[in-house]
Structure 1
């Protein structure tokens, strides 16, 4: 394995499970020093034992806790905004609680973490990379995903603004938009064959994504081989959006 991230300190939010956990594992394999942020201590403990990463326990739904976690992480080379959640509610069923939960984690927390990362980098002279994890749900209308879709589409819009404003400071900002990825969160939404089967046939590759598929694509955009890529949203969708 190429140690192309040797010695780089990379913050990963939502690191306890799913795509975030896979990012920490892949970063560790490539020589990085991952700083894993998650709200479940047992997830952090097992991840630290496995990878040797640094860990910070925080509930990013709390604005002050999010800022404190970023301050604790200190000056780093990169940020992967992976923390996410979903509450399956239709347009007619949407609740205030569901809205606040999803928007608070998927959008507001990501913006706060990006802001704190960028402030630290600018104060240190610039440079660094931010990667936001969005979703194809921001591009297509999936049943009972209204607030989730709004949060992910919002994060893509914010990614472009970040790229424009932070580019002069040498900070690149991109996003990835995965298809259904085999995480615990996805299983709740897509375990029913009535939901799964119509989606599966729209994937030319013939399968949903695995967390490692997404993690490797994220690191491709984070690495030194993509110096001119900023403000981009990369679908990791097995061709879903092309058909």
Structure 2
């Protein structure tokens, strides 16, 4: 019997990177895991790696299709809103298209999925935990990330309001706010030593986060050990936000 035996978990953006790591860890810990992504090939390889995981191919920017897909798998006791996108553009070059895409996926889709999961839990009078993947960018401005930082700031505030409203119903809502994470995308984005070194210089521990570092924080916030933690942004940043 695993720590999360008898609990059902949904992880969005679960095909690769951090989301994949979370999905695999939760399955390992006994949860019944539903992995959602728009990339079917990634989900197929995830299913091969862990056959117990149920995969769902959906584009989270499609509001109605997402609602129907999530309704079919309730109840969900543990929700991890991981899906997101980061388009790097200086403020003067930011476009309406990049704004809409990032806010639709990074913020609006979180609201959509969380509404379905939370409403169902309340109807069934069940407790639950929702964890969204935010970023240090939600609390600290970074050049070239006007829209991305704005989406994470919005996500942080949404989480606080959700915690206020859902806490009395037995549903805790928190965020994990990592620094650069060494996923495949993270390694590619910071392969340039000059770019990597400028960021590392701002992190007291002098290193980027590994996927496991963030997964461990997510597991903590989903678990009963964090029963009195609600409405918080947990930095996994090596001290970046302390400086």
Distance in 2, Cα, partners of 1:4 & 1:240 = 31
Distance in 1, Cα, partners of 2:31 & 2:66 = 22
**Is contact 1:37–1:69 with CA below 8 Å preserved after alignment?**
no
Distance in 2, Cα, partners of 1:188 & 1:65 = 32
Distance in 2, Cα, partners of 1:26 & 1:83 = 17
Q: Partner of 2:78 in structure 1? A: 78
SS at structure 2 position matched to 1:176: strand
Q: Partner of 1:163 in structure 2? A: 163
Distance in 2, Cα, partners of 1:232 & 1:100 = 26
Output one character per residue of 1:165-200: Cα deviation in whole Å (capped at 9) or x when no partner.
Answer: 001110010111000001244345433333211111
Q: 1:216: how far off?
A: 1.1
The CA RMSD over aligned residues, in Å, is: 1.3
Cα distance, 1:104–1:131 mapped onto 2, change above 3 Å: same
**TM-score normalised by length of structure 2:** 0.96
Matches within 5 A, 1:1-243: 3-51=2-50, 52-243=52-243
Distance in 1, Cα, partners of 2:77 & 2:126 = 10
SS at structure 2 position matched to 1:181: coil
SS at structure 2 position matched to 1:4: coil
Distance in 1, Cα, partners of 2:75 & 2:121 = 7
**Is contact 1:85–1:185 with CA below 8 Å preserved after alignment?**
no
**TM-score normalised by length of structure 1:** 0.96
SS at structure 1 position matched to 2:173: strand
Distance in 1, Cα, partners of 2:229 & 2:182 = 27
Query: Which blocks of at least 5 consecutive residues in structure 2 are unaligned?
Result: none
SS at structure 2 position matched to 1:141: coil
Output one character per residue of 1:100-129: Cα deviation in whole Å (capped at 9) or x when no partner.
Answer: 111111010011111111111111113111
**Is contact 1:88–1:189 with CA below 8 Å preserved after alignment?**
no
- Aligned pair count reads 242
